[in-house]
A and B are shown apart, each in its own frame.
Chain A
């Protein structure tokens, strides 16, 4: 069944067979994204957020990854599509901004040559035309003197400029879907502010759909319309950004909010971290994967240790949450116990 949404991911599963067992990096992920909107995917290392982006772009290794489910991009299904079809879309209709531009750009080719290549793969134009286009793109992402810098090598750029060049390369074919995997993690705050501002204005200009993958809740709050929180390969909470930040109902989301010192609030004497460690993907805990670290697990009457919870509508009714706690109880814990602690 085709999809009406611009991007719709249905029950996406990506797993990798290893000698130690099957690693279910992404385990039944479902979400939709419209043009001009931004989805923030949040999670810690190993939660499956980056594998999701690689899966959508078809960048996973087809020989060792097992992918199932459906990915509909503008009416076209990608999971079952041939590698050639996906290649035709990648860099063209969908593009990616990687975390570390120094290791994801080729050190032997000039920045210009790499953008020209990205353009000419999808457009039958001469090198001169493509070069003009590359210079134009570099100018638009705010590189000074783009006609000269186009012949520089990546190492001659600063970290912030490299990330801009990376964005220029991703945008050169006017992609309608842009996936940014930790786009500002390697950057300083002032440069991060510039890059986020740039991504925001470019998105408005191109009306593209944006998926931003990060562990930084500040960055997510800054850009996202919707937020999807991942833990152990599963979506644990999904909904509008304002709801997720104001009325979160999953204990893991509470934990993330409590772990983070905040500049916009009076200083807390103590952070409230999540106890324990992120789970090993090879040996996920039974039932709810978060239960060994969850302070509220005893209140589920043993359900959380045995049964995997379903993604159900939250008590507020505006988002989805995967938790065994009764809906009203979740709401009560947040308003009476967790929220006052965070704002104390």
Chain B
């Protein structure tokens, strides 16, 4: 298993693998309207110009705090919402502005797993109807009928085929999430966008679902975009990770590089904030923690230049005037991109932490 991950990573380092999904300068602005004339007075810039590739067979983790645009990004990728600008190239085709009718065939190839297993399953439909819906809607010919296909899917995700006639309320959260995953797999998609698929589940169940997603990826050769706020889960499951802040990607790199050598101050702060489950080390963890002050600014009127500058301990004048491009920084491999004027280096780590450690009084 370890070798598998290792070789996959080596491959991304040496020659770029085929991109299944390629996003360029993607934007989504939700209009804010006022008055009876519904005049547009502004826009929530939920996703504001992001670019990245997802390679075949890999898992791209998308992390960030609430309101950073990661969920909107997931919905844009699966075209549940239409982008305001930019392009989404999936399997060689730009799907950014396809009409509904043209989108339907596309749904066979990309599917989504939702966060809340309670609201994403219709309570009045049986498991059989729910999991079989994609097959019926897409008129997929199944060898032994839809029922048999659904029962095979249920087995695949670790449920019993006898659950076919039961209703969602008869299942626990983890089991419901498995039902959602079975539905996602019904059409044998190439790409699955999973939006916080385990955050509503208990710890022991979370691990079961993470392992299931892992197995399915190997078995069915799936590509994942894994959206989550839990940095330890993202580290566990992803090959590459992109960090978002206020509608922008601030850093993207291979998993191990990002977690061992984060360059963007926001990534550094985010990583240091994760509580370490080791009471013996808590003093050290607390001392090294970068406590960010204040809240995330509003995406309606984001700060000029670098959006993180209002909370950044390294911010200088240039940060307010010039937006830093997402590029490889000095000494970083080409796959490690950071959007920062003053990236954190290995040696100035301590200094950064100390200066940010203005405790809250």
Contact = CB atoms under 8 A, between A and B. Distances in A.
Interface of A: 44-45, 140, 142, 144, 158-161, 188-194, 196-198, 200-201, 215-222, 224, 241-242, 245-246, 255-264, 267-275, 277-278
A192 B204 contact: no
A259 B174 CA distance: 14
Given A142-B360, A245-B277, A261-B233, A189 B211 contact: no
A173 to B, nearest CB: 21
A45 B173 CA distance: 10
B155 interface: no
Interface of B: 1-2, 5, 65-66, 172, 174-175, 202-208, 210-211, 214, 229, 231-233, 235-236, 255-256, 259, 269-282, 285-286, 289, 291-296, 359-361
B295 A161 contact: yes
Contact of B206 (A191, A246, A259): A259
Given A197-B360, A255-B204, A221 B236 contact: no
A183 B206 CA distance: 20
Contacts of A274: 204, 207
Contacts of B66: 159, 188
A225 to B, nearest CB: 9
Given A161-B295, A256-B204, A218 B229 contact: no
Nearest to A257: B277
B273 A190 contact: yes
Contact of B280 (A142, A224, A246, A255): A246
Given A261-B236, A270-B214, A277-B175, A189 B274 contact: yes
A269 B210 CA distance: 11
Contacts, number: 150
A193 B279 CA distance: 15
Contacts of A161: 295
Contacts of B172: 277-278
A271 B232 contact: no
B276 A260 contact: no
Q: Would you list the 5 A-B pairs with minimal beta carbon distance, nearest first? A: A218-B275, A273-B207, A259-B207, A261-B236, A193-B273
Given A142-B361, A218-B275, A193 B291 contact: yes
Given A44-B204, A159-B66, A222 B285 contact: yes
A271 B207 contact: yes
A132 to B, nearest CB: 19
Contacts of A259: 203-204, 206-207
A220 B282 CA distance: 10
Contacts of B229: 188-189
B291 A269 contact: no
Given A189-B231, A193-B289, A271-B236, A262 B208 contact: no
A218 B277 contact: yes
B197 to A, nearest CB: 14
A221 B279 contact: yes
Given A142-B360, A190-B269, A264 B278 contact: yes
A264 B295 contact: no
Q: Which applies to chain A's interface (DSSP): helix, strand, loop or mixed?
A: helix
Contacts of B293: 194
Given A189-B270, A192-B273, A222-B285, A215 B202 contact: yes
B202 A189 contact: no
A126 B112 CA distance: 56
B127 to A, nearest CB: 16
A266 to B, nearest CB: 9
Given A261-B235, A270-B1, A277-B172, A216 B360 contact: no
Contacts of B174: 277
A260 B207 CA distance: 7
B210 to A, nearest CB: 6
Contacts of B280: 242, 245-246
A217 B275 CA distance: 9
A313 B276 CA distance: 27
Contacts of B274: 189, 218, 263
Contacts of A271: 207, 210-211, 236
B208 A194 contact: no
Nearest to A268: B236
Nearest to A252: B204
Nearest to A258: B207
Contact of B291 (A44, A159, A194, A246): A194
Given A190-B270, A263-B276, A277-B205, 15 more contacts: A144-B294, A161-B295, A189-B229, A194-B291, A200-B286, A215-B202, A216-B275, A217-B203, A218-B277, A221-B276, A221-B278, A245-B280, A255-B204, A261-B236, A271-B236
A298 to B, nearest CB: 20
A260 B274 CA distance: 13
B232 A263 contact: yes
B273 A264 contact: no
Contact of B211 (A45, A196, A273): A273
Contact of A190 (B65, B202, B285): B65
Contacts of B206: 259, 273
Given A222-B276, A263-B276, A278 B202 contact: yes
* Most chain B CB within a 10 A radius of its CB, from A191, A258, A261: A261
Contacts of B269: 190
Contacts of A159: 66
B1 A264 contact: no
B214 A242 contact: no
Nearest to B214: A270
B65 A188 contact: yes
B299 to A, nearest CB: 13
B278 A269 contact: no
* Most chain B CB within a 10 A radius of its CB, from A221, A255, A258: A221
B276 A264 contact: yes
A197 B289 CA distance: 10
A46 to B, nearest CB: 9
A269 B2 contact: yes
Given A216-B275, A218-B276, A269 B211 contact: no
Contacts of A272: 207
B214 A261 contact: no
A270 B211 CA distance: 7
B102 to A, nearest CB: 37
A263 B204 contact: no
